[in-house]
Structure 1
């Protein structure tokens, strides 16, 4: 059984602030260790369920947060950027399942460190007119690539967002949001046990088939800056909905790849702070 882990950082056990998850932050090294241990808990759960090959993709920010010497030796690590598929680099239909570890809720929610891909620059996103963020777009893209998402860990708001998107995905809440930069934390041992136990349960028995992906879908993104939308209209296939909202239609993996380009364009045009 081949298992894929996409690992973000904002939803990791114990972390609540940009200082915990950004390389310049005073508690970033603590955050890296906590991130690695959440991943190791998921790896142990996957091994208990019979996984024979595990790939971990560092999906947060600079994508150089995880160190291979911190990880369980059963896993291979994809690290660094740029990567054409970003948070899903290396995922394909040879994997039996995908796990989302340390994920967070979308922009506009009161979840811990909530945002959609870019600090404060992306105000809203919709996939086929359904409000989404990193959770929904990752889930849909993984399904289109042929690997079902079977587990998500993060705060209670992220878990609720995943349940709303797909109630069949098992979740493990490691903290309870008390705002964007505060949370009630589970004891560390309890949180890691929740991840390990939920992972083993999600991977035991018959795994679900990926949900059939539509031949084409439409992704729309509303930016804070009209200049981002203006610039993106120069790309083939991009259409405008209003001064700050652009959209594109096509197969989900192709939409996801182009969206990665959109993020690079937006970063070049705006003064991005990690969170607002």
Structure 2
């Protein structure tokens, strides 16, 4: 079985602050080491459960965070950007399972480093009328490809979000949120063991898992902090404004996932301008 790992950083063991996860942060280099070790734990678990191939996608920020020379030697690493499918680059129907490592809760939840893709810029997202974050959007997209998401590691809030979305997902909480930038940490050896065991359990069950999707045609709605972003996105064919700050577009979820990354590029360009006041 081919196993796909989407690796984010905010939900990694021990990390709680922007300085841990942003390039140039005081503790970012240590954060990279921690991220790499969490991913390696998931790789070990997948291989122990019978995975024949493991592909790891560095899915955080610059997508150049994982230490390539320290990734498990039996894993293939996808690194850098741009990627048309972002956090799911390289995933297709040939894979038997998706593991989400280092994931975090969606915007608006009181989880460690919680947000949806762009920090404060995205206030809320919906698939049809269901609130969605990075995990839910990835899960729906993978399901549309016929691949089950079977495991997630992150803080307890991210784990609760995953099981609320799909109760079959095996979770490995590596820390317990005290606030958005504070957590009670599991000891590193214990946390990595939990990741390895959850990955193995998820992969073992994947052969019998039925991907549970939301349907082929969905509507994605995104509420931005800036009305300017929404106004610019309205220029994309098929995108309409629901109100001054919310845009919506309908289509197959795999196409919506790819289009969303175009949204983020537009939003980055617009929000990178000097503030009006």
Normalized against structure 2, the TM-score is what?
Answer: 0.97
1:25 equivalent in structure 2: 25
Q: Contact (CA 8 Å) 1:143, 1:149: kept in 2 or not?
A: yes
2:239 equivalent in structure 1: 238
In 1, the alpha carbon distance for the partners of 2:10 and 2:68 equals: 20
2:154 equivalent in structure 1: 154
Q: Does 1:129 align with 2:108?
A: no
- Secondary structure of 2:179 counterpart: coil
Q: Deviations over 1:234-267 (max 9, x none)?
A: 1000011100000000000000111100000000
2:219 equivalent in structure 1: 218
- Secondary structure of 1:204 counterpart: helix
In 1, the alpha carbon distance for the partners of 2:272 and 2:213 equals: 39
Q: Contact (CA 8 Å) 1:97, 1:207: kept in 2 or not?
A: no
Count, aligned residues: 272
Give the 3 Å change call, closer, same or farther, for CA 185–212 of structure 1 in structure 2: closer
Shift of 1:96: 0.3
In 2, the alpha carbon distance for the partners of 1:204 and 1:270 equals: 44
Shift of 1:209: 2.3
Normalized against structure 1, the TM-score is what?
Answer: 0.97
In 2, the alpha carbon distance for the partners of 1:204 and 1:137 equals: 24
Structure 1 segments (4+ residues) deviating >4 Å? none
In 2, the alpha carbon distance for the partners of 1:81 and 1:104 equals: 21
Shift of 1:213: 4.9
Structure 2: runs of 5 or more not aligned: none
Backbone CA RMSD of aligned residues: 1.0
2:95 equivalent in structure 1: 95
Q: Contact (CA 8 Å) 2:144, 2:216: kept in 1 or not?
A: no
1:56 equivalent in structure 2: 56
1:253 equivalent in structure 2: 254
2:169 equivalent in structure 1: 169
In 2, the alpha carbon distance for the partners of 1:119 and 1:5 equals: 23
1:181 equivalent in structure 2: 181
In 1, the alpha carbon distance for the partners of 2:200 and 2:90 equals: 22
- Secondary structure of 2:158 counterpart: helix
Q: Contact (CA 8 Å) 1:125, 1:131: kept in 2 or not?
A: yes
